């Protein structure tokens, strides 16, 4: 057999195997994000303030994704403890950028633990980019608009997380479906990860089709065994529909933590939100009494008053598995969908 014939025969057999599903083309999951972060599955745990602790982050990383500890508003002691709790597992962490700017020394405490990546959300990453890169960590910037994406790229972001309005927690107005491909088209040199409304393999497959090279999930991992959270809050996430979530500033006023524009927070609607939505000025007039009532409800696990932070993907979540199962399930579902699509 001549060399050309042999090559053609090998290609023919390989194609037949693919058609029959004997070999699976894993190519969708080898991309710039998996290479940059040195991970198997392009799945990132959102650095959810307090919810994403060291144990949850480590569980996601051990399953082949990347766990990001939720640095949130910045509690140095908590951050130290959670890096220690993650042990030798490669994890990263995230900060709320405008809050980090008030205590920038927290970044050094995080960098002392050699994080794989630092994610900055909600504010200008420029003042922190150099230190993050100098420490050998990747800079991930979460953005809510094309303008912010370009600023993040200028600041040296290694990866941009395009967060759509469907997301749980703080965010802005653009939807994931258009924000992701618009940023992908505008910034071909920077890999994009999609966030907001993604909770299963369909979401990961769709994100990859939009040109993203990974997903970052918050609400899905909140409803996991390891996540730090009240059992009743997790139960409500498994029971709620996407219709039951709402962006507002009611929650921020009630806990005396109002954010700079344009951010507001998506939570599950409850009696407290229904009472004050559209009457935020009245709520501010009653802020002292309502803040005390709100804090008490949070301590007591009364989620008719205290808020459950969750995105529209709550409607896709019906169980409380371990974080590793979430990673492997989402990756396997997406792979099957993409393979079936390729065969069609």
Question: Does residue number 142 form part of the binding site for ligand FMN (CB under 6 A)?
Answer: yes
Three-state DSSP string of 264-307: EEEEECCHHHHHHCCCHHHHHHCHHHHHHHHHHHHHHCCCCCCC
Instruction: Note whether 207 binds ligand FMN by CB under 6 A.
Output: no
3-class DSSP state for residue 159?
strand
Q: Which is nearer to ligand FMN, 56 or 198 (CB)?
A: 198
Q: Which residue is nearest to ligand FMN (CB)?
A: 218
Stretch that binds ligand FMN, among 4-12, 166-174, 315-323, 328-336 (CB under 6 A): 166-174
Q: Which is nearer to ligand FMN, 174 or 281 (CB)?
A: 174
The owner of tokens 């420029």 is 126
Tell whether residue 315 is a contact of ligand FMN (CB under 6 A).
no
| 44, 48, 157, 194: residue in contact with ligand FMN (rule CB under 6 A) | 48
If the CB atoms of residues 59 and 198 are measured against ligand FMN, the closer one turns out to be: 198
Residue 133: CB minimum distance to ligand FMN, A: 19
Residue of 57, 63, 139, 217 interacting with ligand FMN (CB under 6 A):
217
Report in angstroms how near the CB of residue 197 gets to ligand FMN at its nearest.
5
Residues in the interface with ligand FMN (CB under 6 A) total 30
Q: Does 219 bind ligand FMN (CB under 6 A)?
A: yes
Spatial CA neighbour of 64 closest among 330, 338, 333: 330
Judging by beta carbons within 10 Å of its beta carbon (0-12, 13-18, 19+), is residue 235 exposed, middle or buried? middle
CA pseudo-torsion sign 122, 256, 77, 57: negative
Which two structure tokens, joined as six digits, stand for 332? 């396997």
| Residue 262 near residue 276, CB atoms below 8 Å | no
Rounded least distance, CB 311 to ligand FMN, Å: 3
Interface residues for ligand FMN in 113-132 (CB under 6 A)? 121
Q: Which residues are paired to 267 by β-bridges?
A: 246, 309
Q: How many angstroms separate the CA atoms of 74 and 305, rounded?
A: 25
Within 8 A by CB and 6+ apart from 128, the residues are 97, 100, 104, 107, 118, 120, 139
303 binds ligand FMN (CB under 6 A): no
- Binding status of residue 310 toward ligand FMN by CB under 6 A: yes
Phi-psi region at 216: left, alpha or beta (left = phi > 0; alpha = psi -120 to 50): beta
Q: List residues near ligand FMN by CB under 6 A.
A: 46-49, 51, 70, 72, 94, 96, 121, 142, 163, 166-169, 195-198, 216-220, 222, 309-311, 313
């Amino acid at each position: 057999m001549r060399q050309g014939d042999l090559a053609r025969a090998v290609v023919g057999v390989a194609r037949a195997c693919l058609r029959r599903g004997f070999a699976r083309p894993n190519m969708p999951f080898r991309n710039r994000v998996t290479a940059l972060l040195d991970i198997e599955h392009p799945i990132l745990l959102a650095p959810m303030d307090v919810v994403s602790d060291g144990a949850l982050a480590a569980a996601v990383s051990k399953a082949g994704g990347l766990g990001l500890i939720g640095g949130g508003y910045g509690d140095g002691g908590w951050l130290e403890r959670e890096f220690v709790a993650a042990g030798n597992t490669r994890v990263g962490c995230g900060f709320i950028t405008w809050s980090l700017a008030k205590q920038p020394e927290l970044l050094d405490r995080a960098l002392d633990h050699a994080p794989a990546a630092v994610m900055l959300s909600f504010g200008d990453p420029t003042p922190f980019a150099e230190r993050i890169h100098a420490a050998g960590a990747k800079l991930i910037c979460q953005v809510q608009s094309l303008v912010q994406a370009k600023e993040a790229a200028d600041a040296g972001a290694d990866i941009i997380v395009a967060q759509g309005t469907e997301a749980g927690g703080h965010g802005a107005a653009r939807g994931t479906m258009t924000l992701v491909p618009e940023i992908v088209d505008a910034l071909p040199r920077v890999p994009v990860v999609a966030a907001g409304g993604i909770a299963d393999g369909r979401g990961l497959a769709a994100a990859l089709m939009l040109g993203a090279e990974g997903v970052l999930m918050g609400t899905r991992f909140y409803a996991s065994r390891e996540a730090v959270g009240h059992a009743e809050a997790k139960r409500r996430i498994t029971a709620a529909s996407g219709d039951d979530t709402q962006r507002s500033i009611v929650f921020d006023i009630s806990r005396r933590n109002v954010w700079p524009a344009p951010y507001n927070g998506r939570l599950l609607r409850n009696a407290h939100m229904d009472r004050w939505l559209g009457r935020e000025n009245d709520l501010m007039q009653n802020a002292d009494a309502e803040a005390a009532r709100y804090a008490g409800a949070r301590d007591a696990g009364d989620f008719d008053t205290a808020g459950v932070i969750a995105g529209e993907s709550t409607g896709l979540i019906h169980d409380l598995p371990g974080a590793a199962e979430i990673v492997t399930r989402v990756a396997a579902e997406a792979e099957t969908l993409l393979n079936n699509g390729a065969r069609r």
